[in-house]
Structure 1
């Protein structure tokens, strides 16, 4: 509910701060005092269109802040969390309008779009007047009220969930049908590519091994010639490397007395002879080895050519072919043919439609039952409000065969205010007073199930008085017992029923006009009620009459 309202430089108000409570709060004051300011300010902070003319003369901007206690409204907390706007027991709405007409909106101190502010505002406050904020004129509100009255909120959610499943499946199917040729073409291409790579059957390290073997075979003749030459250098009986090393060692061995240098030289030559003998042996083995088959070279080159050709075709490096093979195989495994996917989605769509229709038909039956009860209850309240000639009718307009998120039908609230006249939509009602009383009757009936915590009524008592005025006051007080009601009224019978009485006053100075709003104590209530009854506020008789009215309330 609305707990605190702060208004700065808005129309005639320079500064206003107001604490509000549960129950019925009456706003009264002389004609022209500015009683509509509160409603306009609430409408603005709840998302109404901004108007630069609402900025107080001489001020740079108007600033309106409204605090709501949402501790008992879990759906508000859920919405705030989804929007990442906090989730505390107190929710602060703020609207700033500049002299140039620019507007900024805030929720819990965070800048938001006007759409976000309006969405939240519509969940927190419902202003029943001739203003555009009147949500009761909307078919969505009417449907919500009927379903809440019939206690079908959970079924409505099931219908919406079934609708979205059906709609999502339908979109997938339509997209797939429009893309079926492309999918089939992709399927055929993948099948060909994977088959080609399957036939290539490239081993894990095959490419490296083939390239290495190719290099060896390509240089085989040159290697063998070099080995033969090296072997001859080592094996020559007279001029070979080994023969010369043997000769050098014989000379050193035959020397009688050798210095340390000669002994070291002899040791090095002995080691060189051993190393040369081992090298010559390895050269011989390489020269006469049978491990490499020259006849394999054409075979290897043909295999490598096939690998390089496939790599060029797929525009990848040869070493990337194995990874590509795995990738295309995985895609092909996931990708069925377009016809198979379409068939599966068509089956799913039929199942979703069947489930939706089952739930929607059940909701239609429940709504029809609730319509009869709501018609009877609202017409009963209208009779109490001096509108016994009126005929309130809830009409369920069947929609076309295509599923809709809210079910098979649209809910229309109709009213006939003249005997013999066909009922028309609430928006066609010309009289704001009649519309307010109709709204009051509906809200009183649906108060037990309404989720909007703050209701505001303007001109609900236009054109009525006497006993009917008492009834209007009692109904508003009854509605206030369920939550919070703000009512702008000029009728003493209504104001006397209020839990909280607020008086709007306008003061005129030499160069400015200011409206203020004050909460009245018991004595001040008596004086204001006396004024509203048209009596002399200084007359003991008028005051006594006012006091008696307050006591009876």
Structure 2
């Protein structure tokens, strides 16, 4: 419920603070007084896009703040999901707009995203303006109305769960089928690549070994010369290293009986002699083994050429990377072989889920069809009450070729206001006044079927007058037993039904024109309704008529057969 609205520096409003109450409130004012300005400001805290052109001239920013009672809406989960402070008794929505184009939104003084503010606003207030009558022509709107009146929430949720699961499996099946087709086209290419790699019989580390071997072969003469020099230096004729070390050992051995420390030196030289002898033996062995082998060189070069060619083809630099590619290709080929089995299994799963979805769709459809007659009868009775004695109304349900997220039903509202006209879609036959009455009846019925937020009717009475307007006011007042209803109206018959009456007016000063809004006390209310009855010149008769209308307007038929209270 909207408890209060504060507006600063918006359009023609300097500063406005107005309190609201539960029940049925009416807002009146002369044409151009600024009723649409009030509604526009309210829309901003409900998440509508901002336009800095609406900031009052010569001001830097405008602020709109609304305080709501959330106790009936069950919004705690909505707040907790967004980590907002939750106070069911008082929730403050605020919007600030600057001339620079900057805009900020707040819920309980915490900044929020505009989409989240709109999501909350949609749960708090339903603004029914004249252009919203056009939604009566929309089949989705008609289906949604029928679902609310048929109370299909349980069946619809069960269907949508089954539909979502079916769609997910079907999407996966299509993806696998597409992948299978693509794989079939690529299978020969994958197989060729795999066979080439597998045929190469690559071994980890072989590239490095082959490259080292090739270096040895190509430098064989140089290597042999160096190894020969090592062997000759250690044991050749003349000043050979081994012979010199032998002489050193003998010299130390000859003095160790008179110089004991010579024994340690002798051991160290002996150890060096043994090590160098081993080096000479190993170098000699390598000398014998090393030889230029043209045939082996060709084999190594050919093997390396195979490896290099594969690396270039796959844009890698090592045998290990080639082996990984071979493994991946093998997996792809195995996947191709097993994909048909997966598709076959998934086709069975999709069929089962489709059957479950269709079963839930039938249950939803039956619930809708079972409600059409009571809805048609109640709506027709209400239309007769609103001055359409020959009105006929039908909820036409047909079957769609393909079920969607709302089921297999297509709903169309067929209407005829006269005996001699056939039932046709509402959009093709109903006049503006007839659509207004239809929408009011539907809103009233919906209010009886579910907990609605505050409803604001913006001149829903367009195209009506007299007794019909009086009855429309009665329906709105009846709706207000279970919810907050606010009506912006030009008709005195509806204004007289309100439990609270607000007046929007403009005042001119030397510099500017400003819009104001105030709650009317009883005497002023009589004057306002008299003005609505007689126009600019209020007559005594109009005043008396206004008093009568107010007395009668406050007498509500609490046993109305047309309103279903929760």
TM norm structure 1: 0.77
Alpha-carbon distance in structure 1 between the residues aligned to 2:362 and 2:275: 98
- CA displacement, residues 351-372 of structure 1 (integer Å, 9 cap, x when unaligned): 4443333322322222111111
CA RMSD of aligned residues (A): 4.8
Offset at residue 38 of structure 1 (A): 3.3
| Separation in structure 1 between the aligned mates of residue 152 and residue 275 of structure 2, nearest angstrom | 99
Shift in alpha-carbon separation, 1:456–1:236, aligned structure 2, 3 A: closer
| 1:196-211 matches, cutoff 5 A | 196-209=196-209, 211=211
* Correspondence for 1:127: 127
Secondary structure, aligned partner of 1:327? helix
The 8 Å contact of residues 497 and 554 in structure 2, kept in 1 or not, is answered as no
- In the alignment, the residues of structure 2 paired with residue 93 and residue 34 of structure 1 have an alpha-carbon distance, to the nearest angstrom, of 21
Q: In 1, distance between residues paired with 2:173 and 2:263? A: 93
Q: Which residue of 2 aligns with 1:323?
A: 324
CA distance in 1, matches of 2:339, 2:271: 76
Query: Unaligned 5+ residue runs, structure 1?
Result: none
Instruction: Give, in whole Å, the separation in 2 of the partners of 1:500 and 1:526.
Output: 12
- Residue 150 to residue 539, structure 1, CA distance change in 2 (3 Å): closer
* Matches for 1:60-209 after TM superposition, within 5 Å: 64-66=64-66, 68-70=68-70, 72-73=72-73, 78=78, 88=86, 90=91, 92=93, 94=95, 96=97, 106=105, 108=107, 109-110=111-112, 112=114, 122-132=122-132, 135-168=135-168, 182-209=182-209
Give the conservation status (yes or no) of the 8 Å contact 2:128–2:456: yes
1:210-239 CA-to-partner distances (Å, cap 9, x unmatched) read 555666677778767765654555446875
Residue 520 of structure 1 pairs with residue 520 of structure 2:
yes
Length, aligned pairs only: 542
Counterparts of 1:379 and 1:254, CA distance in 2: 137
Partners in 2 of 1:538 and 1:402 — Cα distance? 63
Q: Distance in 2 between matches of 1:418 and 1:323?
A: 80
User: Counterpart of 1:277?
Assistant: 274
Give matches, 1:500-511, under 5 Å. Answer: 500-511=500-511
For 2:413 and 2:214, locate their aligned partners in 1 and report how far apart those are by CA, in whole Å.
89
Deviation at 1:486, TM superposition (A): 0.7
CA distance in 2 between partners of 1:312 and 1:550 (Å): 92
Deviation of 1:308 (Å) = 3.6
Gap runs ≥5 in structure 2:
557-566
- CA positional deviation for 1:522: 5.6
Aligned to 1:362: 363
Shift in Å at residue 374 of structure 1? 0.9
Quote how far apart the aligned CAs of 1:130 are: 1.9
CA distance 1:429–1:500, shift in 2 (3 Å): farther
Please say if residues 127 and 457 of structure 1, whose CA atoms lie closer than 8 Å, have aligned partners that are also in contact.
yes
* Alpha-carbon distance in 1 for matches of 2:256, 2:511: 138
Counterparts of 2:430 and 2:44 in 1: how far apart (Å)?
24
What per-residue deviation string (whole Å, max 9, x for no partner) do you get for residues 250-293 of structure 1? 667778999x9xx9899657633441233214432553589979
The separation in 2 between residues aligned to 1:135 and 1:76, in whole angstroms, is 30
Query: Displacement, 1:440?
Result: 1.9
DSSP 3-state at the match of 1:402: strand
Native 8 Å contact 1:48 1:133 kept in 2: no
Looking at structure 1, the residues matched to 551 and 94 of structure 2 have their Cα atoms a distance apart, in angstroms, of 40
Residue in structure 2 matched with residue 376 of structure 1 by the alignment? 377
Is the alpha carbon distance of 1:489 and 1:230 closer, same or farther for their aligned partners in structure 2, counting shifts above 3 Å? closer
1:392 touches 1:413 (CA, 8 Å); kept in 2? yes
Deviation, 1:413, is 2.6
Instruction: Calculate the TM-score normalised by the size of structure 2.
Output: 0.75
Q: What does the per-residue CA deviation read over 1:436-478, in whole Å, with 9 as the maximum and x for residues that have no partner?
A: 3322211121213346412122445564445x66643442222
Instruction: Output the CA distance in 1 between the equivalents of 2:426 and 2:64.
Output: 31
Partner SS, residue 281 of structure 2? helix
Q: Report deviation, 1:119.
A: 6.7
2: CA distance between counterparts of 1:458 and 1:248? 121
Per the TM alignment, residue 74 of structure 1 is displaced from its structure 2 partner at its CA by 5.4
The superposition leaves residues 386-417 of structure 1 with CA deviations (integer Å, 9 ceiling, x where unpaired) of 33332232222433x12322222322233322
**SS at 1:131 equivalent:** helix
Q: How does 1:217-366 map to 2 (within 5 A)?
A: 230-231=230-231, 233-235=233-235, 239-247=239-247, 268=265, 271-284=268-281, 287-288=284-285, 303-319=303-319, 320-336=321-337, 346-366=347-367
| Range 8-17 or range 102-111, more displaced | 102-111
